[in-house]
Amino acid sequence: MTARPSDTVLLTVTGRDGPDTTSRLTGLLADAGAELLDVEQVVVQGLLTLALLVRPSASSPEGQDPWQALLLAARELGVTVDVRAVAPVAPPVGPEPLRYVVTAVGKTLGAREVHALTARLAEQGARVERITRLSETPLGSVELHVTLAPDADPSSLKRALLALSMESPTFDVALQRESLYRRGKRMVVMDMDSTLIRIEVIDELARAHGVHAKVAAITERAMHGEMDYDESLRQRVALLAGLDVQVLRELAANLPLTEGAETLIRVLKRLGYRTAVISGGFSVAAEALQARLGIDFAYSNMLEAQDGKLTGRTVGTIVNARRKAELLETLAKQEGILLEQVIAVGDGANDLLMLEKAGLGIAFRAKPKLREAADTSISAGGLDTILYLLGLTARELREVT
């Protein structure tokens, strides 16, 4: 015993959990008139850890141990109680600490991975306040609630965790500001090519038409900044002139989905989210995906056709980086959804403005430049990893799949 009868104490209860353990102990505290200041409980593999911060009743007889009845009850229940005096916590003075949620997701997370993550957090001065398991067995996802000093630089922590993700290709680490909107998202907007599907549709069409090398060369020039997106799209589409429309339709009917795509869309729909594809790809493919997965909205480029052949031109406004961001904003307003409640997912440079516009921008299996600019990134897991970033647990996911 390290506490005097008048001290505020932290009671730490450990042992095999029973159906009435917490009820019995808190009942004794209530009977004794003790003031409960804080409480936390967790059960891991049937073993209970219960922490109770309590202050004894002012009317407790002097010299009498106010915790004796509780200690006796603990023996009967088969648990142990550690009683420690704690100094009163002064109310916070000055700015509140910055609060963040760090989510780690992988096939398995062992001691090595958890150590690497917590060590990186410690290096950045991030204080871990709570760790929660999101997955079931084996341990594959955890959520850490951390705080930073009010004057800390969050971008430094973001860069450190991004570097950790790039060094550890078996798991992803995401950083999000803890706020009202973190678990209040209502819409997910996705790019199509190399995000929702595993291919670039224009590359497959070019391959079928025998012009893949020429299309790839234009793409390479655009990636190096030698031409803008609109011009590169016009030149690539021009090379498709004469291709039978049936080739495009057959490709659209058999698009290879990215791992986790079906699960992500199915769960989001069950939870009432609105979903959209906003793509610089082609409407035949985007609309096929919309029908196949039950996506609410699809925006993309339309290829012009005459007499069953592609003309080599597009119809209407080109969906480029700026247009993607505009469509996201317009769609959110149309649906009465705040931008803070929108998640945008993409893999390429032309997704950057869209990701910046959304409340949470996710770079999915993207190049380092986009990963550095986005709010967070996913590289090791599939699209269903996004569900863990929403704070959902594996048990909750079972209920909606």
Catalytic, out of 193, 230, 351, 384: 193
- Based on the number of CB atoms within 10 Å of its own CB, is 308 exposed (0-12), middle (13-18) or buried (19 or more)? exposed
**228 classed as catalytic:** no
**SS3 of 181, please?**
coil
Catalytic, out of 7, 17, 172, 191: 191
**SS3 of 38, please?**
strand
- Name the token pair of 371: 């990963």
Residues 55, 58, 63, 66, CA torsion sign:
negative
Question: In this structure, which amino acid lies at residue 313?
Answer: R
* Angstrom distance (rounded) from CA 125 to CA 148: 7
- Can you list the pairs that 365-371 forms with residues at least 24 positions away whose Cβ atoms lie under 8 Å? 365/194, 365/195, 368/166, 370/346, 371/162, 371/166
- Can you list the pairs that 1-6 forms with residues at least 24 positions away whose Cβ atoms lie under 8 Å? 1/65, 1/83, 2/83, 2/84, 2/85, 3/67, 3/83, 3/84, 3/85, 4/85, 5/56, 5/60, 5/62, 5/63, 5/64, 5/65, 5/66, 6/56
- Name the token pair of 373: 């600019």
**65 classed as catalytic:** no
Tell me, what DSSP letter sits at residue 367? -
CA–CA distances in Å: residue 21 to residues 10, 49, 77, 230, 384: 17, 11, 7, 67, 37
Tell me which residues are annotated as active site: 191, 193
